[in-house]
Structure formats: C-alpha cells, structure tokens
Amino acid sequence: MSVTRLVLRGDALAAGEHVIPPAAAKHARVARVVMGEQIELLDLDGGVGIGRLVCWEGAACRVVVERVERERGEPAAPLVLAVGVLHTAAFDWLVEKATELGATAVVPVLSERVQGRRHDARVERWQRIAEAAVAQCGRSRPPRIGEPQRLAALLAEARGTRLVADSAAPSPADFTVGADGVTLLVGPEGGLTEREVAAVRAAGFLGLSLGPRTLRAETAALALLAVVGFPPAPRPAPVPV
C-alpha cells in the first residue's frame, strides 16, 4: 500500500497530534489523503513519525503520530559515494538514485576529465533532490551532498574500506566493511587518467570490476552501491553425503 510521507523540519517528532502547515501538507492534498489514512512525517534527521490524518483545516492538516522510528532504512556504517562530476541531468539522477540505495554522503569529485565550471553552484539543488528522494523511498535522512573537491583531497580524507570501479580489476574482489564504513570512487565520463589511477591505488583503494561491459559513470556508481550496500548472503556449507 502506498504511504504519503510529509517533511516536517524543525519539529521534534513525538507521539501525539501535530499540525502540518500548508507548505508541508501540500503533497497530502495532491494525493487526496482523507481522514483515517496513514501518513508518515519525516524530520530528515533520522526520525519517522507513523500516524494518521485526523482532519483538514483549510490547506493545513492535523496528523496524530502513533509511534516514532529512528534511522529507518539507514546503513549500519557510513556509505560514501565519490563520483567525478557529470553533466547536470546525469548527476541529478545519480543523486536521487544514490539516496534510494542508501548512500550516506555523495561527494562530487573534480578530476582531470571533469568538464564545465561552477559545479559548487549546483550543491544546493543536489541536496534538495536528495531530500525529495528520502520522502519517496522511505528512509529517514538524506545523504550529505559535499562541496565539489579535488581528487587529491578526496583521497586524503577517504575512510574505511576504499573501493574504486575498475573494469581491469579481478572479479570478485575480496573486501570487508567495518564500523568505519566504505568510500566508493567512480571516475567521470572518460574515466580517470593513468596518473589518477596510480594515485588512487597509492591511497589504498581496491579495484572492483563491475562486469565485462562498459558502463556509463552514473550506472557504474549505482552498481557499485548495490554491490557493496546489499552484498549477497553467504552460501550454506555443503552437507556431506
């Protein structure tokens, strides 16, 4: 069953009745939510209030929250996705889908083959896209969209298990993800240069192959997120006959 989710910033979510102002209630009005139907309130800071619509008061509405969940849909450890900045539509789409796949941070990387300028002017837009995707997919907080940074800075700051999409790498790669999480790196359109690849390797990144086909940068980034964020369950040991 589809559930309408409303973003309610600046309000401490707790059990009880909440007045939802018109700007936040607009989506419920468009979705034609009626009295008694389920609604979820998101504070975008890890809280999800599960409740029902009590009534409409003009363009505002009242919702009674029955319980509050914390950190719903969030990974157990940081899941950082660093990607060479792509053209506008591709990176917008990437931010939305990375949010759905559980990225806790998205870092736009400025590498040698990144094209265009003023990428920093797009960060606010990317953050809005991430917040909208949270309401759509049902997790409890958006990833942090970082300021565009040079590849060298990203390599110096990377924490946890470090993986880079690399079609030449052996597959499958052997890696584990601990409490420090994982940093995933994908180059821009055209990939990383040989000099950049050498620097990435020197920084401790392990190459991970995503198969025999050539993938667009945005496709590779999401494939990497899916592989690392949702690893296959271990196979049971064979039973002796």
Q: pLDDT digits over 20-33, tens only? A: 999 999 999 999 99
> 79-229, what's its fold?
Alpha/beta knot (3.40.1280)
The 3-state secondary structure of 59-126 reads CEEEEEEEEEEECCCCCCCCEEEEEECCCHHHHHHHHHHHHHCCCCEEEEEECCCCCCCCHHHHHHHH
Asked if the model's pLDDT at residue 34 lies above 90, the reply is: yes
Domain layout of the chain by residue ranges: 4-70, 79-229
Mean pLDDT of 201-209: 93
* Domains 4-70 and 79-229 equal at CATH topology level: no
Residue 173: predicted pLDDT: 62
As to burial, measured by CB atoms within 10 angstroms (0-12 exposed, 13-18 middle, 19+ buried), residue 205 is buried
Asked if the model's pLDDT at residue 235 lies above 70, the reply is: no
What confidence tens digit (pLDDT) does each residue in 101-142 have? 999 999 999 999 888 778 888 999 999 999 999 999 989 999
**Prediction pTM value:** 0.88
Mean pLDDT of 38-63: 96
Residue 239 pLDDT grade (very low, low, confident, very high; cuts 50, 70, 90):
low
Residues in the chain: 241
Residue 117: predicted pLDDT: 75
Residue 232: predicted pLDDT: 53
Asked if the model's pLDDT at residue 45 lies above 90, the reply is: yes
Percent of the chain past pLDDT 70, that is, above it, reads 93
Mean pLDDT of 230-235: 55
- Which is higher by pLDDT, 185 or 175? 185
Q: What is the CATH number of domain 4-70?
A: 2.40.240.20
Looking from the CA of 104 toward its CB, the CA atoms found within 13 Å total 18
CA distance 84 to 165: 12
